[in-house]
Structure 1
Amino acid sequence: MDADQSEPLPLYKSSGPHGHHQTAACHTGPLLGQHLQEAAQLAHQPPARPASDNRSQMKNMQCLWLCGLEVTEATLRLIIRHMPLLTRLELSHCPITDGALNLLSAVGSSTRNTLTHLNLAGCSRLTDRCLVYLRRLSCLSVLDLRGCKGVSRQACESFISELSVNALYCLSDDKLIQRIS
């Protein structure tokens, strides 16, 4: 494959009105990055008519893959606002910060109570501090922090011991946290 071409990447899965799953594919590379930038710009413009969660075309989205893209806090705000059923978020190798993760787990954020899988592998800007925010994700089953050099194994072990009051978690591989009960 030429360097100019990009491979299709599954972008989301959603449930239709009758419970049928729909999956869309998107191409990685500049085109997707451009769409995310346009979406972020639209978020800062006043709506032409009152916005309604029921009218959102993304409201049934359950899975979102944004691996390796320039995901900003503005992008995460859009995700939180328009994807209230999101259970799986793939952000590996994105330049996100601890503060951005604070948005995902803030009071009133839909993702605080829906995210079960969060992949942050290779996110080099994260530190041990992100685990303070991620503790608030009440449904978290899998947290992948492999390759996050700013997140220590010791902080992951402490994170697990605090979460294990309500459910059992294990630390496998290098900073892969999984719920086992």
Structure 2
Amino acid sequence: MTDVNRTIAGIVLMESITLTAYAINFVIDNVFQPSAGARDDAAKLLIVITDGKRSPGDLDLTAVIAKAQKAQIIRCAIGVGNDFANGSEAEAELRNIASTPEYLIKVQRYDDLHNIFEGMKAKIYNIKGTQGSSNESSFEMEMAQSGFSVRVTEECEWDCVFTLSDNPSAGQRWYPVTGSERCCDKQLWTKIDLSRQKSITPAMLSGIIRRQPVTLDLSWTSISKKQLMWLINRLQGLKELILSGCSWSSVSALCSASCSSLRLLDLRWVEDMKDSHLRELISPPSDTRPGQNEHRGRLPSLSELRLSGLDINDSSLRLLVRHLPQLSSLDLSHCPHVGDQSVNVLTAANSQLRDNLTAINLSGCNCVTDQCLVLFHRCPRLALLDLRCCKLVTLEACQHFAKDCSPSPSFHCSPDKLLLRDS
């Protein structure tokens, strides 16, 4: 079986749902953007392959195509199957998608895509002006970097890499398609985002493990403790884990799993998470044997911790200082019990955090006052201090703090009390 056949055999069936406009809109907003690597001076080409009329509940196709035209995206529409007879509603949709009649193609079967390869290649190269062998490989590389979802190779293969969620309520994001080695290439899956999914299925869990992401976003999902523990113990290269909005009953899996490689942990607004839970998470395992480093916690490599909105107090912060030696960025925004004494704990003479701290977010902490600013002079590497919405911190005190930091690179103080060190 060829790579192409294996890929096609592994494509997840979307249960007769066709959301063409959703897919086009997603590519416009998330692929043809400078932030995704697209260049302003490069032609934008979108190839749409569909097998029939759009399903009810899809976005308005006319509005989406107008959006594509405004973005100067050249669109090639390929219809596969018997639904695209002349005069049919499906054919009308296909004509609407295609930039010009020249870019409308109809084939009977997916196997027939091989037969149109050379014509497609000529059209694409003509658009880009890349005729000539010297720059064809770089052109194909540019296409891949710009989000070209079908990879063209010298062997005339079409390697499907992504498919779009068939559930509009799940949000518009790309999901992995199983069944192809290229689909599991770790370089393509450094970050997997499943945030706000109503349910985490076994197929999703298996797909995550196969792709071994560096960053995994499970925020605001109903993932269970058993599922999370199963994942973490199998993701040895995971560096960033985002669990904001999940329940503590699920997040507590971290207390039993190996998290030694984590660099970033996001626990903002975790439901029912108490101060005692944070202490349990930060403290060394209870089975630490004699001779082992008793100060080594479960998160020894963590450099960024986000705890916004949690009910924590100074006793947890003392453990944080003691057991997170690499911590440099800390988010304590909207934590109701964090005040000046908390800042004193974090910046005390015996705190290794005071020398490492580069960014701290205290926005919305209403127990913090002007007195905390004096304490932050102890942190030589501090580059960001967020005191926005702190009712007891005055703008005058922030401006005075910024001025006092000279002659070293001074801070810029915004009118809403965000302090940033000048580079």
Provide the TM-score with structure 2 as the length reference.
0.36
CA distance in 2 between partners of 1:66 and 1:59 (Å)? 17
Between the aligned partners of 1:111 and 1:154, the Cα distance in structure 2 is 27
SS at match of 2:354: helix
Larger Rg: 2
2:412 is matched with 170
Q: What stretches of structure 2 of length at least 5 have no aligned partner?
A: 1-168, 170-197, 199-218, 222-236, 249-269
Deviation at 1:75, TM superposition (A): 1.3
CA distance in 2, matches of 1:7, 1:93: 18
Q: Which has the higher contact order (CA 8 A, sep 6+)?
A: 1
State the match for 2:239 in structure 1: 22
**Counterpart for residue 122 of structure 2:** none
Matched, 1:135 2:359: no
Partner residue of 2:332 out of 68, 91, 106: 91
% of aligned pairs identical? 35
Q: Of the candidates 100, 113, 117, which is equivalent to residue 355 of structure 2?
A: 113
Alignment CA distance shift 1:101-1:29 (3 Å): farther
Partner of 1:148: helix, strand, or coil? coil
Match of 2:220 in 1: 7
CA contact (8 A) 1:168 1:180 kept: yes
1:55-84, CA deviations, whole angstroms, 9 ceiling, x for partnerless residues? 433111010000011121011111111111
- Runs of 4+ with >4 A deviation: 46-51
Kindly indicate whether the alpha-carbon contact (under 8 Å) linking 2:275 and 2:313 is maintained by their aligned counterparts in 1: no
Alignment length (residue pairs): 166
Cα pair 1:53 1:59 within 8 Å, conserved? no
8 Å contact from structure 2 (residues 347, 376) kept in 1: yes
* Pair 1:176–1:39, CA change in 2 (3 A): closer
Structure 1, unmatched stretches of 5+, are 9-19
Distance in 1 between the 2:387 and 2:303 partners?
A: 21
Query: Aligned Cα RMSD in Å?
Result: 2.8
Cα distance in 1 for residues equivalent to 2:280 and 2:241: 23
Amino acid at match of 2:381: C
Which structure's residues are more often helix, by fraction? 2
CA 1:170–1:72: 2 relative to 1, 3 Å: same
How does the TM-score come out when normalised to structure 1? 0.79
Preserved CA contact (<8 Å) 2:317 2:346? yes
Contact 1:94 1:122 in 2 (8 A): yes
Q: How does 1:40-59 map to 2 (within 5 A)?
A: 40=279, 49=289, 52=293, 55-59=296-300
